[in-house]
Amino acid sequence: MTLEFTTTQATERVTDEQLAKIHEAPGFGRVFTDHMVSIDWTLEDGWKDARVEPYGPLAIDPAHAVLHYGQEIFEGLKAYRHEDGSVWLFRPEENGKRLQRSAVRMALPELPVEDFVEACKQLVRADEHWTPSGHEQSLYIRPFTFGNEVFLGVRAAHSARFMVIASPVGAYFADGVKPVRIWLSEHFNRAGKGGTGSAKTGGNYASSLAPTQEAFANGCSQVLFLSSLGDRHIEELGGMNLVLVKGDGTLVTPESDTILDGITRNSLFELAEHLGHRTEMRPVTIDEWQEGVESGEIVEAFACGTAAVITPISEIVSPDGSFGWPDQEPGEVTMKLRKALTDIQGGRAEDPFGWMVQVTEAKA
């Protein structure tokens, strides 16, 4: 049975003038909409009390499981405003399914996918006017679940809360689609075999922060992790998947059970095949990448994810030197795929895959 949602309207709401100002330069994840969704879970009763309520601080008990053992999972997806004023989500069921897989790994309860999608829709509808319509803008939706039992024993919490918050966003990187430099983390790994690398859980991001600081200190915007096995296989970036483009248009992305199963990457591969590209999901070493750049076999690379969309990579930088295409404009295939995907998301192109889910009606 699907959950029924109640709504408590926020009394303090953003004014039209304030919202217009926010939409002028939203940045990424700094301002949040007027409402949020919460659904509680207990071991005895399961999921209950689904509600849309005013956005605001939570009362956190100092003994909440999440504060001590990091029992938390999250998702990221976007709502797009189309030219006719309607608002659409991109593949929300895929995020719902992935949140369930993360829940299994982190011993949290699995929210049914229908309830996940409905929760996202409820928030987008409650804060309908918050979805921006500017170039490259969208409403970033952040669903998450955390253990909130008051107990310090190390075992799965017997109570949890699922929430959704939303934030109007522009480009994740301040320079938009300008190619980014990536720092190769030689000492830190993100994930190990049997670990939590394929789950979208806060701890993976916490452990990426020190290497990301190293990246920033070296003039890079993201960190690239290698496999912990010492085999020099490339995995992914701190918050994005990675795709290499060969001269014949073939796309290559690392395959590993220690990385996040990216919805953007999977969608791009489907789209690229539809457009006649070959795709390969297989183990790739950093040496194959470097030698491929030097021989001219690998001609472009990009980062992809919900937040980053598709961002071209200019260089891989490490203490031993760098390689890539420091002086190159964004690659042709990168930009072609970027346009094809963002045109579907923005409603400017047909959606042959049935990826878009409508949330609000066109405006008269």
Give the binding site for ligand COI (CB under 6 A).
76, 239, 305-307
Quick note: the x/- pattern for ligand PLP over 66-105, rule CB under 6 A, is ----------x-----------------------------
344: helix, coil or strand?
A: helix
User: Cβ closer to ligand PLP: 123 or 243?
Assistant: 243
311 binds ligand PLP (CB under 6 A): no
Q: Match 């956005």 to its residue by tokens.
A: 55
306 binds ligand PLP (CB under 6 A): yes
C-alpha distance from residue 253 to each of 22, 109, 134, 302 (Å) = 36, 31, 31, 10
The residue range among 24-32, 151-159, 239-247, 328-336 that interacts with ligand PLP, by the rule CB under 6 A, is 239-247
Shortest separation between residue 254's beta carbon and ligand COI, angstroms: 17
Site for ligand PLP in 257-286 (CB under 6 A): 260, 262-265
Residue with the CB atom nearest ligand COI in the bound state: 76
User: Cβ closer to ligand PLP: 241 or 256?
Assistant: 241
Long-range Cβ contacts of 129-132 (<8 Å, 24+ apart): 129/19, 130/14, 130/19, 130/33, 130/34, 130/166, 130/168, 131/79, 131/80, 131/81, 131/87, 131/168, 132/23, 132/26, 132/81, 132/168
Shortest separation between residue 167's beta carbon and ligand COI, angstroms: 11
Q: What is the DSSP string of 111-165?
A: PPHHHHHHHHHHHHHHTGGGS--STT-EEEEEEEEEE--B--SSS--SEEEEEEE
Is there a contact between 27 and 172 (Cβ–Cβ < 8 Å)?
Answer: no
Among ligand COI, ligand PLP, none, what does residue 51 contact (CB within 5–8 Å per kind)? none
Closest to 246 measured CA to CA, from 282, 286, 295: 295
Shortest separation between residue 177's beta carbon and ligand COI, angstroms: 16
Among ligand COI, ligand PLP, none, what does residue 73 contact (CB within 5–8 Å per kind)? none
List residues binding ligand PLP (CB under 6 A).
76, 236, 239-241, 260, 262-265, 305-306
